Structure 1
Amino acid sequence: MEEADTRALRADATRNRNQLLKAASRAFVSAGAEPSMRAIAREAGVGIATLYRHFPTRESLVDAVYRDQVVRLTDGARDLLAQLPPPAALRRWMDMFGDWIATKNGMLDTLLAMIESGEIAHAQTQTELLAAIDEILDAGRATGELRVDVTAEDVAASLIGIFTVAQPPEHAARASRLLNILMDGLRPTP
């Protein structure tokens, strides 16, 4: 009986942690300023003690959300390629990238301080994201559906530019239009 209780507790703890990550992501997107830890716990439907048990500091929560989203982006590239042709996978990945950028809005001060202090390795994240873009570009080049002269750095710079001038969710329609224009430019000319 004790082993079953331990497994249930672990499953419950995992569920709470996942709820907290999702709630924090939503709170960071919708917040103009960094939301309180109490607001994030409330959004997740858990008590503040549960939040602090999983994430003892704001920095540990920001780090977990940031890393979770980087994994979603890198794994997402492979998952999308398994389901969609390369151009469609890239376009869908661009939307995921926009969501990632939007999440940073409500955690920007903490995130910048963590990058500055070396707690988050920005260069490592950049390398991982560029590799994800390259994976999709390589697949598109192999099928002839994406231009061979475009680099992952070109795509990343374009995405940063687009999401700087058209940050979702307020400007989602504009961002979508600009991403579609970018995709048109990524297709080879006949």
Structure 2
Amino acid sequence: MTGADEGVRLRSDALRSRTLLTDAVERFLRCGRVDFSIPELASEAGVGVATAYRHYATPAEALYAHSARAIRQLLGAFGEVETNLDPLTRFRRSCAMWVSQAQTWGEACRHIRSPEGMIERLHAGDPVIVQLYDVLGRVLDDLFATGHMPKPDPEAAVLLWTTIFDERVIYDLGEHRGWSAETITDYLTHATEGALRIGAAVAR
């Protein structure tokens, strides 16, 4: 095995261990456990304790990694929405993607609460929040540019959109009201449109 091959193998092993650990975080969260230790996480993931500590020095780091993975999955789903659509159609399909995604990881992520708000994390340069803000901001910019909504305060508008589509809301409506994904999507999309005056007559 060459040095290059060895490097690829080590990176592959590290990625596999990290995936196993983050999957283990999700299993803990689905059981409502947020107080696990790193040795407990290692045992649940089936990796060595030293390996676990190389990836996550604290449980808080492991929780952040799980949350960041969920946001990256959401961003990937947004990337599947065609950018050449009418901006209003693109917005509504993005909302549908959001609900669909949140139904896969929302049950776990609802247990994770950052002490900082979205705008605070944005200003601090949290990479996944910056990416999410950029993607959602472009959708809203296109709605404004085509006369579908008044000019928004960008940060406040994105904050409102993310608040309405909070995974706890999506989980609650599905699990405890028994709503279908389509019903949840319609309800939250209309709520966001009303709050941001999307579709209102806009003076140009």
List alignment gaps of at least 5 residues for structure 2.
none
Residue 172 of structure 2 aligns to a residue in which SS? coil
Greater relative contact order (Cα < 8 A, sep 6+): 1
Report the alpha carbon displacement of residue 181 of structure 1 after superposing the two structures with TM: 1.9
TM-score by length of 2: 0.61
Pairs within 5 Å for 1:149-168: 149=150, 151-160=157-166, 163-164=168-169, 166-167=171-172
2:130 equivalent to 1:131: no
Structure 1 residues 64-97: Cα deviation after superposition (integer angstroms, max 9, x where no partner) = 2233333333444234346986122331124435
Q: In the alignment, which residue of structure 1 is the partner of 2:121?
A: 122
Letter in 2 for 1:96: Q
Question: Cα gap change, 1:182/1:164 in structure 2, threshold over 3 Å: closer, same or farther?
Answer: closer
- Confirm or deny: 8 A CA contact 1:32 1:106 kept in the other structure: yes
Greater percentage in helix: 1
Report the alpha carbon displacement of residue 39 of structure 1 after superposing the two structures with TM: 4.8
Question: Cα gap change, 1:35/1:25 in structure 2, threshold over 3 Å: closer, same or farther?
Answer: same
Q: In the alignment, which residue of structure 2 is the partner of 1:178?
A: 184
2:98 equivalent to 1:93: yes
- Confirm or deny: 8 A CA contact 2:74 2:101 kept in the other structure: yes
| Residues matched between the structures, number | 178
- Confirm or deny: 8 A CA contact 1:31 1:106 kept in the other structure: no
List alignment gaps of at least 5 residues for structure 1.
none
Q: How far apart, in 2, do the equivalents of 1:175 and 1:165 lie?
A: 10
Report the alpha carbon displacement of residue 133 of structure 1 after superposing the two structures with TM: 2.2
Pairs within 5 Å for 1:7-86: 7-28=8-29, 30-34=30-34, 36=36, 37-81=38-82, 86=90
Letter in 2 for 1:22: D
Letter in 1 for 2:162: A
TM-score by length of 1: 0.65
